[in-house]
A and B are shown apart, each in its own frame.
Chain A
Amino acid sequence: MASSTTASLAASPAFTFSASTFQKLHPTEYFRKFVSQGVRPDGRLLNSFRPTTVHQGVITTANGSAMVRIGGTTVVCGVKAEVAEPKLDAPDQGYLVPNVDLSPICSSAFRPGPPSEQAQVVSDQINRVLKESNVLDLKDLCIEEGKAVWSLWVDVVCVSYDGNIYDASLTAVMAALANVRIRKPTYEEGVVKVSGVDNTDEDDNSSFKLKLARTPLSASFVLFDTSLTLLADPNFAEEAISEGQISITIDEQGKLCAVSKVGAATTSLTSMRQCVDRARERSQELRAIMNQHQ
């Protein structure tokens, strides 16, 4: 500030702000005050994840579904299986079509209209993890080679957005895929037949579950401030003031499925190693939570 204003300020009573006003005026400074003490404004430690719940089978009209809550972020994922023609270069394989929908219902930050860049990026990230990690043997989705296959439409609807949509969406997708039941089809002369739509009989052999070869789950972090401090599981406010983002996707054997780092050009390898280690722990915690609710 210029010296003249400093002088006039010295004469007037000191400014006092309420915490929330200060957060709006100087968000980075506000966070700095907490992070320097090793905590965050919501009371978490720098490497803590928010309370997470996973519920499967929440939507009976879908073949598989799951609802995941990570702190204030809530997503619902539904999987619907439809008969489709296979792609010409893979006549004995079905396909997965993931999509993440971030609409105005989940936060005032989103406007109505076509999918935002963020929604498209998250959708694409999930698509790549599912494809490259060979989560599912797509040959299992074949009904009749060259004629009919199952296409799985995996739709994630975010109903409440408070940061870390990627972790929540991926967890929901994996939980929903594990929950999928598809009635066994028979193929006759160009027509695929499936008997009965009663969802209550689960014990008979007329439907099959998906065989998941791997279950990748992720842990996301942001880098805060010039010190590039790692904050695990960012909420909306933390995402807004971050310098860079890191996401680590790990499967049940601790093998890396995907690593993503954007922004913060001067991140060190130590930070990356810390993220991977923390992601391993988080992956185990998440699996325990998923199995608990099954």
Chain B
Amino acid sequence: MGLHLAFPHLITYRKTNSDVFFELGLRVDGRRPAELRKITSTTSVLSQADGSAYLEHGNTKVLAAVYGPREPRHRALVVHDRAILNVEFNIAPFSTGERRRRTKNDKRLLEMASFVKQTFEPVVVTTLYSRSQIDIYLQVIQQDGGVLQACINAATMALIDAGVAMTDYVCACTAGWVEREAAIDLNHTEESSDASEVTIAMLPKSGKITLAQMESRLHVDKLEEVLQLAGEGCKQIHLVVDKTIRDRAEDLARKLAV
């Protein structure tokens, strides 16, 4: 392609109000430690998918679509007594704040897809749908921290919208040690700072944990507090998600009754 010249760099200076918030004991976006970001959730947003959901945790926006149970794509993968789950991530190139990401078969994406799959496998009653495949497609439209959390919550709603049988909701929440205290629902700024972060996916009815994922260092003494806070966050998210589902169900029932 010719001579490679020195690539011009783009430097961006950030202005933040974090100093003011720090004095008040609040986080970078003005939240209290145990405060979740604003959640917006809707189901049945896509016309082609069997079930779909749109979820926002603050500025993290995710779309989930469920196709299935349907015929498996590859004969070799057919299981005679249950359905197989297939999860695919698609991160939109315009979703990140800084650089545009292009890689599709990124190992990170495949890893996240496998987490989501393993989270849902014990919860979806796959034995009801033998020899079929349930596809969960996750489209990340905007990222501001807590992507895995948002994807799991959106996938739960999409599966319910598709009428796939599950033993319970799966609600996920991130928690970590930010500055000097435990906080939940970390945004991108907090994630990329020195804070440690753990993602928990929980079944709200039983309190059982189906996924616990952490990649940073955290002192073992603090782990209990962080896990407990994450559990609380999951329960709060469950209330919001449950309300959305029930409102939608009431809406449908009213329309059918006419």
Contact = CB atoms under 8 A, between A and B. Distances in A.
A157 interface: yes
Interface in A147-198: 147-148, 153, 155, 157, 159-162, 185, 187, 190-198
B6 interface: yes
Interface stretch (B44-52, B198-206, B240-248): B44-52
B187 interface: no
Nearest to A146: B5
B51 to A, nearest CB: 12
Contacts of B49: 105, 160
A155 B70 CA distance: 30
B109 to A, nearest CB: 12
Contacts of A99: 93
B137 to A, nearest CB: 4
B8 A157 contact: no
Q: Interface residues of A toward B: which range?
A: 35 or more
Contacts of A65: 94
A79 interface: yes
Contacts of B73: 111
A82 interface: yes
Interface string B1-22: 0100111111111110000000
B94 A79 contact: yes
Given A105-B90, A190-B6, A162 B137 contact: no
Contacts of A104: 67, 88, 135, 137
Given A82-B100, A105-B65, A160-B48, A192 B8 contact: yes
Q: Interface residues of B toward A: which range?
A: 35 or more
A61 B67 contact: no
Interface stretch (A70-78, A124-132, A220-228, A282-290): A70-78
A61 B137 contact: no
Nearest to A198: B15
Interface in B123-165: 135, 137, 139, 141-144
A190 B59 CA distance: 33
A108 interface: yes
Nearest to B90: A103
A77 B50 CA distance: 24
A160 B93 contact: no
Nearest to A187: B8
Given A104-B88, A105-B63, A106-B48, A147 B95 contact: no
A159 B46 contact: yes
A87 to B, nearest CB: 11
Nearest to B93: A155
Which of A74, A80, A187 has most B Cβ within 10 Å?
A80
A76 B62 CA distance: 12
Contact of A83 (B9, B61, B97, B135): B9
A59 B47 CA distance: 21
Nearest to B60: A61
A99 B63 CA distance: 20
A87 B90 CA distance: 30
B119 interface: no
Nearest to A195: B13
Contacts of A153: 93-94, 100
B92 interface: yes
Contacts of B143: 61
A160 B139 contact: no
B236 interface: no
Contacts of B14: 196-197
A192 B47 contact: no
B86 to A, nearest CB: 9
A161 B67 CA distance: 14
A188 B143 CA distance: 31
Given A61-B96, A79-B94, A112 B88 contact: yes
A77 to B, nearest CB: 8
Interface in A130-153: 143-144, 147-148, 153
B142 A60 contact: yes
B159 to A, nearest CB: 15
A197 B49 CA distance: 36
Q: 7 tightest CB-CB pairs across the interface, nearest first?
A: A78-B94, A72-B47, A105-B137, A148-B8, A62-B94, A160-B46, A83-B10
Interface of A: 59-62, 65, 71-72, 74, 76, 78-80, 82-85, 88, 99, 101, 103-108, 111-112, 143-144, 147-148, 153, 155, 157, 159-162, 185, 187, 190-198, 236
20 contacts: A61-B95, A61-B96, A71-B47, A76-B92, A80-B93, A82-B10, A82-B99, A103-B137, A105-B137, A105-B139, A107-B48, A157-B90, A162-B47, A187-B8, A190-B8, A193-B13, A196-B13, A197-B14, A197-B15, A236-B48
